[in-house]
């Protein structure tokens, strides 16, 4: 029976992976400023790892988190301290730091056993503020509000020097993260998560320990964020509390929402979309508009993202991935497609 146990997308995955690795070579010849594009893509890659984890928590388990920038910050600072001050190798930090951040996620999971929805969002947001203040307060290790220089990574003898190297390092882990997340979603764990989201009663009656699985969701999500944090610290070489603002947490939610909440590919698409918007499309017409509107660059982004999110929630609640699925069905049925179904 063909296609019974496998996703239809499966045959595209090897091609996509090859394309990801060939992409830098492609744009190297195509444009002069390829390093800038690689830098943006690296940022997107780091955020993808995080939003995939956030999607597991918010999209699949239905536990809202507005504190993911804090998890990213903990990951980044922990790794910076472990590698530069304690002297652990980068490879080891890649394993230990996500575990530490996972434990933080686990701790934040405790209130999640009792509270839901918006209130949980506010709790995690509060966690974000606490973490930011803590980082500033622990000046001896973190450098306080002045920020912290982080050494360049070396991965099993290969030193990661510039954006070109970063790209391959980051996207290797992006691919891994997506595969792992997909595996989680398709297994017993993912079913338990979705059951908790849609019907706690059914989950309990099926033998799912609610508290345990909510904790696991937070732990896993924290691990993904921690992983992103390590990569963030060692590829941007400088971290400060300004990088991990509350607005970043909100952007993560926007990324997941725009991509399509509750699908792993959706999180990937949404993150790419938002990061590319932020860095490539908005600057194009920002200067033109600033002649007519007195608006700061940062505010303008928030304005645009708010608008995008609003439009998506109203017109395309399934997000970009839902759009893609509809298009696929459309072309499959073409020209015998009932018109109304695809509007």
Partner 1 sequence: MSKLTIQNLHMHFSGVRALDGISFNVNEGEIFSLIGPNGSGKSTLFNCINGFCIPQKGDIVFNEIDLLNKKPHQIVKHGISRTFQNLQNIPYMTLLGNVLLGAHSRLTTKDTLNRWFSQREREREESLALEVMDFLGIANLEHKYLSGQPYGIQKLVEIARALVCKPKLILLDEPAAGMNDQETLEIAKIITEIRDILEITVLVVEHDMNLVMSISDQICVLDSGKILAMGKPDEVKNHPDVIKVYLGEEADA
Told to check if 28 binds partner 1 by CB under 8 A, we report no
Q: What are phi and psi of 292, to 5 degrees?
A: -100, -30
HSE of 221 in the Cβ direction (CA atoms, 13 Å)? 35
Q: Which is nearer to partner 1, 35 or 191 (CB)?
A: 191
Number of residues that bind partner 1 (CB under 8 A): 24
Pick the stretch among 48-56, 85-93, 191-199, 247-255 that binds partner 1 (CB under 8 A).
191-199
Residues within window 192-211 making contact with partner 1, judged by CB under 8 A: 192, 194-195, 197-199, 201-210
CA–CA dist 286, 16 (Å, integer): 33
Pick the stretch among 145-153, 169-177, 190-198, 300-308 that binds partner 1 (CB under 8 A).
190-198
In order of 11, 124, 172, the CA distances from 8 in angstroms are: 7, 37, 23
Determine which helix (DSSP H) or strand (DSSP E) holds 304, and give its type and residue range. Answer: helix 297-315
- Strands 238-239 and 148-149, sheet pairing: antiparallel
Q: Which is nearer to partner 1, 1 or 15 (CB)?
A: 1
Burial class (CB in 10 A: 0-12, 13-18, 19+), 5: exposed
CA–CA dist 51, 58 (Å, integer): 10
Q: Which is nearer to partner 1, 129 or 330 (CB)?
A: 330
- Choose which of 183, 237, 328, 341 interacts with partner 1 (CB under 8 A): 183
Find tokens 């019907």 and name the residue: 199
Told to check if 191 binds partner 1 by CB under 8 A, we report yes
Q: At its nearest, how many Å lie between partner 1 and the CB of residue 295?
A: 39
How far does the chain reach from its first CA to its final CA, in angstroms? 33
Q: Which is nearer to partner 1, 22 or 205 (CB)?
A: 205
Q: At its nearest, how many Å lie between partner 1 and the CB of residue 205?
A: 5
Q: Which is nearer to partner 1, 208 or 267 (CB)?
A: 208
DSSP state of 8: G
List interacting residues with partner 1 (CB under 8 A).
4-5, 183, 187-189, 191-192, 194-195, 197-199, 201-210, 262
């Amino acid at each position: 029976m063909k296609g019974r146990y496998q996703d239809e997308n499966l045959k595209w995955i090897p091609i996509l992976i090859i394309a990801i690795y060939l992409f830098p070579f492609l744009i190297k010849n195509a444009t002069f400023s390829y390093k800038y594009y690689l830098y943006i893509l690296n940022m997107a890659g780091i955020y993808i790892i995080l939003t995939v984890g956030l999607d597991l928590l918010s999209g699949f388990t239905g536990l809202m988190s507005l504190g993911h920038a804090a998890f990213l910050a903990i990951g980044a600072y922990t790794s910076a301290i472990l590698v530069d001050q304690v002297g652990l190798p980068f490879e080891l930090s890649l394993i230990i730091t996500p575990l530490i951040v996972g434990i933080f996620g686990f701790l934040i999971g405790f209130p999640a056993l009792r509270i839901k929805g918006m209130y949980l969002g506010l709790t995690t947001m509060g966690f974000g503020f606490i973490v930011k203040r803590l980082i500033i307060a622990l000046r001896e290790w973190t450098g306080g509000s002045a920020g912290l220089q982080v050494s360049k990574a070396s991965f099993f003898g290969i030193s990661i020097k510039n954006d070109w190297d970063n790209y391959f390092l980051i996207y290797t882990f992006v691919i891994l993260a997506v595969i792992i997340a997909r595996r989680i979603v398709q297994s017993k764990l993912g079913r338990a998560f979705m059951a908790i989201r849609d019907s706690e009663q059914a989950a309990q009656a099926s033998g799912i320990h609610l508290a345990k699985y909510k904790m696991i969701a937070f732990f896993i999500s924290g691990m993904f964020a921690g992983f992103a944090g390590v990569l963030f610290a060692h590829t941007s070489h400088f971290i400060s509390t300004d990088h991990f603002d509350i607005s970043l947490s909100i952007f993560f939610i926007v990324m997941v929402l725009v991509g399509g909440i509750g699908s792993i590919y959706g999180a990937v698409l949404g993150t790419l979309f938002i990061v590319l918007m932020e860095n490539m499309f908005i600057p194009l017409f920002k200067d033109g508009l600033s002649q007519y509107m007195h608006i700061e660059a940062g505010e303008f982004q928030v304005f645009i993202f708010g608008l995008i999110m609003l439009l998506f929630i109203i017109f395309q609640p399934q997000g970009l991935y839902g759009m893609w699925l509809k298009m696929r069905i459309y072309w499959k049925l073409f020209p015998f497609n009932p018109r109304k179904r695809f509007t």
